[in-house]
Chain A
Amino acid sequence: MKKLQLCTIGLSLLYIPQSFADITFNGFASIRATQANSDGGGVPFGSFDEGEISFKGESLFALQASADLTEGLTATIQLYADGSNDFDVEARWAYISYELADNHSISAGRLVNPTFHQSEYQKVGYAHNFSRLPIAVYQDFPFSTVEGIALNSQFELVDGDYSLETKLLYGSWNGDIYLDGVGNVDLGLKDILSVNATLSGDWWKIFSGAFITEMKADSVDANSYIPAIQPGIQAALSLGATQSDVTNFTNAVAWDKKDGLYWFAGFGVDYEDWLIDFEYTNYGVQDSVDAPNENWYLAVGRRFDSYVVTIHTEESKQPDDYGFLNGINHPVLQATGKGLQGAISTSEFEGYGISLRYDFHPSAALKVDYSAGEHQLTNIGDYQIMSIGVDLVF
């Protein structure tokens, strides 16, 4: 009987058509050597090795397969590996899409989170002219992909002179974030609701977008903020603070169950081989110790046939915002809250850079860049980053 079953399975496999659908393979890769130095000896950003040339920090590979299942239905998976994660392969995207109409498509599954204007193709170096998009705006958030559903739409306005692209997304994310001195702790984003819009003409575009989410951050609070404020709470209790004061203060500081709000706005120009891009972003956990982060970059580029030269300036700030302490009257608790906010607002920096892109091959671009700046952390201080690499698509 078993033999018969095996025979049947074998015959069935023989008769399976070779292909049920047209499958299109695309991919992108970056191979980049990067050197970062800082006066303080610390690593200025994420995945660099201070003082050493590294090929791992910014090298990556991705392969995307998209199956056209006909009648407007497609299934897409993107396998992704980068050097900063030892080239461990992950399914960065896995979703199905359905064309509701010519200008509307709906996707569901694991999708890229359109946090800011270029977040969706942030890793596709060939798609932009930088070695890396300006770090002030394009940091590596752990929630760069989410599980959810998205509606992409495209509208033509004024007899097609302008086009409006919109994206609505609803989803969630669960993962972990790294906290200094603590390690990885759980973090979740619940009920992510994201809206993005880009209005463009022949040579210009303006764009804006936002997403709001409920933070699932009890682990972050329990491992970071709550322990940090304990000495202040003990001091306040010894100086007459009530348990109610302490509870209100703890709730004011915490992230859990509060709204995370991320938004951005900017414009782009591509006119007579002159390129200008500006983007401003703002994000934080509302009514918590996390003051809004304010970041921006401005880039001006010039295209010379196969070459593009781009200069840019960028800034990342987190100005004090003591609004979360409204209603907290005890001076020691007030001081503790202000002190904690100051202690976590340590990623401020401003920088500038110059990048050269050379399209030496129809599918590959050589990029060389130099950037420098001043970081608020004393173990970083003045920093410089240099890199040379190749971005390709296939």
Chain B
Amino acid sequence: MRYVNSIILLALSLIALNVQAVTVIVHPSNANALDKKSFQKIFLGKSKKFPDGSQVVPIDLTGGDARSKFLDSVIGKSESQLKAYWSKLIFTGKGQAPRSVDTEAEVVKLVSQNPNLIGYISDGAVDDTVKVAAKF
């Protein structure tokens, strides 16, 4: 019975891990309507402005589940594919990858202080200092 419980617990954990959403956050004053394609373009350096014309500055996470989920669900590239993508731009003088921070708390703090920033965090890290732009 103990084994059955363990297996059920493990299965539930895996399910929980799989359904862990990633949330894209912006400053509370940001009224732009943004979709998946917008996020792709912003985080791949193809868009440098929000639809309202204001400058956009993406903030990446250096690692973690939220980053994995974001790359998988939104960007559609693995870490290696993304690094190869940025290598082509960096070493041809066409761009630099977004600045990265280590913790979701840093993303929340930065985004809450600057209307030009956009970031992503796990669902549980969202608080009322930032606005949810989308969940994936």
Contact = CB atoms under 8 A, between A and B. Distances in A.
Interface of A: 24, 26, 28, 62, 64, 66, 76, 78, 93, 95, 97, 102-103, 105, 107, 111-112, 120-121, 124, 126-128, 152, 154, 156, 160, 163, 305-306, 359, 362-363, 365, 393
Interface of B: 37, 41, 46-49, 78-80, 83-84, 87-88, 90-94, 96
Contacts of B93: 76, 93, 95, 97, 107, 111-112, 152
A393 B92 contact: no
A120 B89 CA distance: 9
Nearest to A150: B93
Given A121-B87, A163-B46, 4 more contacts: A62-B91, A66-B96, A121-B92, A127-B87
Given A97-B93, A160-B37, A359-B80, A102 B49 contact: yes
A120 B94 CA distance: 11
A64 B37 CA distance: 31
A393 B87 contact: yes
A154 B87 CA distance: 18
Contact of A124 (B46, B87, B94): B87
A152 B92 CA distance: 11
B50 to A, nearest CB: 11
A103 B46 CA distance: 9
B46 A128 contact: no
Nearest to A306: B80
A127 B88 contact: yes
B46 A64 contact: no
Contacts of B78: 305-306, 359
A105 B90 CA distance: 14
A345 B90 CA distance: 37
Contacts of B49: 102
Given A102-B48, A163-B46, A362-B79, A64 B84 contact: no
